[in-house]
Amino acid sequence: MMMEDGLEVYDYRRQQCVHPSFMNDNCTCCGQHIVDCGVPATTPFGYIHHDLTLTPDEIKRIRDDNLQYLLDNKKLHLVLDLDHTLIHAKRIENLTSEEKESIERVDDIYTIFGGTNYSIAVKLRPGVKEFIEKVSCIFDLSIYTMGSRDYAREVHKLLVSKAGFPVCPWVIAREDCVKEKKKGLGVVLSHEKVVVIVDDTRDVWGSCKENLVRIGRYEYFPVKDADVDADADADDDAELARVYDTLQKVHSEFYFDDNIQLLEGEECSPKDVRDVIKAVKYDELEFASRQLQTSSLMFGVEDEESIALCGRKRPRDDTSIISSAFPLQKEAMSFILNLSMFN
């Protein structure tokens, strides 16, 4: 009941409200307290607003709308890690004198505030600007880091100004994780069938590993000396370019028939990007097998391990390349070792 011109009037809005979301424990539609709404199950989405929680039905509705948007625009959703994926960061107070000198000498090292009492040096990974520019054309981008929310937002601001990162993506941090020290797609407002993850750490993703395209870990610090060669070595990192090629293949395969759309009555996409990622991994492994076999013949290697890998018909579930050293020349193995980062 509510008062109107001094009379009690029944509020039909409250009777009909499904209570899809809550702000500060009050329904965003009818204003009732969550207790008066029957205390429905909700999930917090603090990266959108610190007091916002959503019900499962509302999460599904948002994901359905997002799915239609992605399909209409022929995009997928790319979730990007920060540390050791797009950047390497270190507290200023923990830097050596050589590393502090490199901040002034190297163009893509910047200082951000990590808190009230300390600052952080952030080194952008080589090729990050080109990577962001390219993937933005075929993916919607989000950030998901195990760093704090304040840290994540500061790094995001830096990436916006220096690398062309979109201004308003979802920036998800450790405070948003449902399980401690574990990332998950339960707090991402896209269906898992259209989400691709790029991260240097596999184990943190739990049951979402099938969505993962792994990237090699990037480390700029510690800087061993202050000469030019140290900077040149750091710039040799080409992982973002390699991963972009993989992402482009995944996107192309997903939209290969150029006619993906939701039919009446369908609740989700007829395609699943996880199946596409598996197929791309399999193709990469097949190519790697041929490269290894060719290298073995080139260098006169006929050991049983090499032959067994070349003849493997189907990769195991984790599709990982065994990185134990076969008796091949280092150059012949470089491609295979890079591919192991893909899983």
Which string of DSSP letters, residue by residue, matches 134-175? HHTTTEEEEEE-SS-HHHHHHHHHHHHHHH---SS-EEE-GG
Spatial neighbors of 300 by CB under 8 A, at least 6 apart, are none
User: Does residue 306 register a pLDDT over 60?
Assistant: no
Token pair for 266: 């369908």
Beta bridge partners of 79: 142, 197
Which CATH homologous superfamily contains domain 76-253?
Answer: HAD superfamily/HAD-like (3.40.50.1000)
Q: Which two tokens stand for residue 113?
A: 């505030």
Report the distance separating Cα 217 and Cα 341, nearest Å: 9
**Alpha-carbon span 281 to 315, nearest angstrom:** 9
Residue ranges covered by each domain of the chain: 2-69, 76-253, 273-340
Evaluate whether 102 touches 227 at the Cβ level (below 8 Å).
no
Question: What CA–CA distance (Å, rounded) separates 280 from 276?
Answer: 6
More confident residue, 172 or 329: 172
pLDDT per position as a tens digit, 148-205: 999 999 999 999 999 999 997 799 999 999 898 899 999 999 999 999 999 999 999 9
Token pair in block for residue 116: 């009230």
**Averaged pLDDT for residues 285-289:** 64
Give residue 242's pLDDT: 94
**Cβ atoms 315, 282 nearer than 8 A:** yes
